[in-house]
Structure 1
Amino acid sequence: MSAFKRIAAADAHQLLENNEVRIADIRDVMSFQAGHICQAVRVDNQNLGEFIAACDKQKPLIVCCYHGNSSQGAAQYFAEQGFSDVYSLDGGYEFWKVSYPDLCER
């Protein structure tokens, strides 16, 4: 049984509008630099511990990848690290940038 939930882009957008969420983008550096969700933090093995230590584990965390597949494993990992409300973004950044281009940074 997974300890995370999947979230549709529209629901993620609502959380982001309310400024109640952190977004962990697990894509590679070049993809992140080419574009990412506003306020997203790129997380990899180099800064994972620092990211976990800096987060309020009681606030929602959305994990974003390319298409919403890799983020599921990462979301499960974050849930196992004590995050109480973890989501994997359905469709990933590729769906997000089409749905909400004004909420992307380049």
Structure 2
Amino acid sequence: MKKAFHVITKILGIFILTLLFLSFLVFTVPRFFGITPDIVLSGSMEPSIPTGSICFVDRRADKYEVEVNDIISYKLSNDALILHRVIAFDDKGNYITKAC
């Protein structure tokens, strides 16, 4: 009985350590490349991106040219991160976005 408990405890410990290590890799390593994970808090992008989803945002904005149908992120004055789809550009080149 003690041996079975020891084996189960060891397997559970390895499983938890593996989860912690993978979480570290997923959430920390991309930051070295200018990519940050963010959690979608509202349903404005559903059904494309469900509430609670983790999205990885590439902060190297100068690397890409935004086109119609791209999903962009921007911050409001209260530091809330917003995700929206670009549907057009105005005369000044500003983005016109739609929630879905």
- Give TM-score scaled by structure 1 length: 0.20
More strand by share: 2
More helix by share: 1
Which structure's CA Rg is the greater one? 2
- Give TM-score scaled by structure 2 length: 0.20
